């Protein structure tokens, strides 16, 4: 019996619904593995259909096409290494999340997912049937246990595979990014290795899908949890891992050891890649955005320039009577530093026309938030017109703090197809700007150096919708607001919990009220990059109509 086994790991970027294109990627990497003398080429969970499919996988024609493609792949990849690839499997009336092993022109094994995640962004129990526990698969000299993604989070699945003869564990994943996720995965997989005494391959896809981003960061562990291979985070990668039979079992030879970025870089790379993929996978090549001279639009413009290149980013300044000269200068400086086009379209004329049209109906009332929102909605109208005319996607620029408390105008500055900073609190926006000013990476298509002037980062935030307006006229200072929101949103803390931490009860109650009151706005907001475990949308699903408040 052979004492070596070469496993080609394919950390690639599929697209949901692009079955033929995903299959073409599988054929290409299979050929690469064959040329390298691989015994098996492994792809990730649901690679053939892309992930997550949501209700698309419940459409019979979709599943039929995917399963037919599996048979074609098996025939095309007959003369060479085994191919492991994820896809749906329909048996009778039961639909499964499956992992196929193709050898010698046919499907030799179909592994069905046992543990279906049903929290955070996942609702697989709605889509799939949970399968019984299964044993390992024979590929050449090796018996491979294949717990699919969530299966590896539960000790029972891996222990069953070990007890039924598995010699290594291969975990194909569709594991989306959130801050700190690599450490979570590594700790859990070390537990599986220690419990079973088996080497473990954790293989994860990369790429953006709507609000979610799959970040790769695949790795291989030997017994006792020793790291043998670490693939990069956020980058496609194909590598060959050699397993050697020893007196105490199989062991992975040392291989690639990529360094994983710290959280600020990881978040920034996540925003860049998710925007790039959202645009590319939906067919957009250019973006347009309102550049106000403030920090939020400046970082969004920078993310866009890094994602698709400055030449594809159209910035527009839309000044009103309340726009300061400093904001005009700051917007121009940001666009100049990035190398993006900047046009200026004053809204004063349109604002006057709307005011005149409404004057008879507004007679006897005092100017206020209605008139402020008209400015924002005029800007949204103009930006959407530019988007429609040019085919560029409009980006919206509201941070998580604003989205949380509704400090944004629906049908105004919330207009747009994607929001890269939707899950980034205001205080972290500032940190991200400072990080980008002092760091540049090969995956950034924008220029190196200080692209966001310190004055933009440090000046008091203002919507500039009335004279001398500042955000902290209407909201607590952002360090206080963000700390309260971290408690209410990220930790599900009670009002009493936050008061015990030293926050003023009236301030906490006001923030809580704004948080619940703004649910209808978030329901209509653009998708944006998920960076935390409590991103608005699938992670935190609250009713729009909600009269409950925490009275503790």
Q: Which residues are catalytic?
A: 45, 113, 149
Q: Which of 231, 300, 312, 233 is nearest to 272 (CA)?
A: 300
With beta carbons less than 8 A apart as the criterion, state whether 301 and 466 touch: no
- Residue among 355, 363, 375, 334 nearest 469 (CA): 375
Token pair listed for 313: 């980013």
CA separation for the pair 52, 124 (Å, rounded)? 10
Q: Whole-angstrom Cα distance, residue 512 to residue 201?
A: 44
Q: What is the DSSP letter of 475?
A: S
358 three-class SS: helix
* Phi, psi dihedral angles at 172 (to 5 degrees): -80, 135
Distance of CA 382 to the CA centre of its chain: 29
Q: Please tell me the distance from the alpha carbon of residue 485 to that of residue 412, in angstroms, as a whole number.
A: 24
The Cα angle at residue 397 between residues 383 and 538, in degrees rounded to 5 = 115
**What secondary structure, in 3-state letters, does 254-294 show?**
CCCECCCCCHHHHHHHHHHHHHHHHHHHHCCCCEEEECCCC
């Amino acid at each position: 019996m052979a004492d070596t086994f070469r496993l080609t790991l394919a950390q690639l970027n599929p697209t949901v619904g692009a079955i033929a294109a995903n299959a073409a990627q599988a054929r290409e990497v299979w050929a690469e593995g064959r040329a390298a003398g691989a015994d098996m080429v492994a792809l990730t969970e649901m690679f053939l259909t892309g992930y997550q499919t949501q209700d698309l996988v419940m459409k019979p024609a979709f599943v039929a096409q995917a399963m037919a493609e599996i048979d074609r792949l098996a025939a095309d990849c007959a003369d060479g290494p085994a191919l492991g690839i994820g896809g749906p499997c329909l048996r009778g009336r039961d639909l499964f999340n499956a992992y196929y092993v193709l050898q010698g022109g046919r499907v030799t094994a179909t592994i069905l997912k046992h543990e279906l995640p049903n929290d955070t962004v996942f609702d697989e129990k709605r889509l799939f049937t949970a399968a019984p526990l299964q044993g390992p698969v024979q590929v050449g000299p090796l018996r491979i246990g294949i717990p699919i993604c969530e299966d590896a989070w539960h000790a029972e699945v891996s222990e069953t595979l070990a007890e039924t003869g598995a010699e290594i564990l291969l975990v194909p994943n569709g594991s989306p990014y959130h801050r700190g996720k690599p450490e979570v995965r590594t700790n859990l997989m070390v537990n599986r290795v220690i419990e079973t005494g088996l080497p473990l391959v954790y293989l994860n896809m990369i790429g953006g899908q709507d609000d979610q981003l799959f970040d790769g960061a695949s790795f291989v562990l030997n017994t006792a949890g020793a790291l043998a291979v670490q693939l990069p985070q956020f980058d496609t990668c194909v590598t060959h891992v050699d397993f050697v039979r020893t007196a105490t079992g199989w062991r992975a030879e040392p291989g690639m050891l990529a360094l994983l970025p710290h959280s600020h870089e990881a978040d920034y790379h996540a925003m860049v890649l998710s925007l790039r993929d959202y645009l590319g996978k939906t067919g957009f090549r250019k973006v347009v955005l309102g550049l106000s001279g403030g920090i939020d639009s400046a970082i969004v413009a920078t993310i866009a320039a890094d994602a698709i290149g400055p030449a594809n980013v159209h910035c527009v300044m839309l000044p009103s009577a309340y726009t300061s000269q400093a904001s005009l200068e700051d917007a121009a400086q940001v666009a100049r530093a990035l190398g993006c086009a900047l046009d200026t379209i004053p809204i004063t004329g349109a604002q006057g026309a709307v005011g005149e049209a409404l004057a008879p109906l507004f007679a006897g009332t005092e100017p206020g938030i209605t008139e402020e929102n008209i400015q924002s909605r005029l800007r949204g109208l103009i930006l959407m017109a530019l988007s429609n005319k040019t085919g560029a996607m409009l980006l919206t620029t509201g941070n998580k703090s604003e989205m949380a408390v509704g400090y944004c105008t629906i049908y105004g500055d919330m207009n747009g197809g994607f929001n890269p900073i939707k899950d980034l609190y205001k205080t972290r926006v500032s940190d991200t700007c400072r990080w980008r000013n002092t760091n540049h990476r090969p995956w950034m298509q924008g220029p190196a150096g200080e692209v966001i002037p310190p004055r933009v980062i440090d000046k008091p935030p203002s919507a500039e919708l009335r004279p001398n307006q500042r955000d902290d006229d209407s909201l607590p200072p952002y360090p206080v607001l963000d700390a309260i929101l971290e408690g209410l949103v990220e930790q599900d803390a009670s009002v009493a919990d936050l008061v015990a931490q030293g926050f003023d009860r009236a301030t906490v109650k006001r923030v809580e009220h704004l948080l619940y009151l703004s649910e209808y706005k978030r329901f209509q907001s653009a998708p944006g990059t998920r960076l935390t475990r409590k991103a608005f949308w699938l992670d935190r699903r609250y009713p729009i109509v909600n009269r409950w408040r925490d009275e503790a």
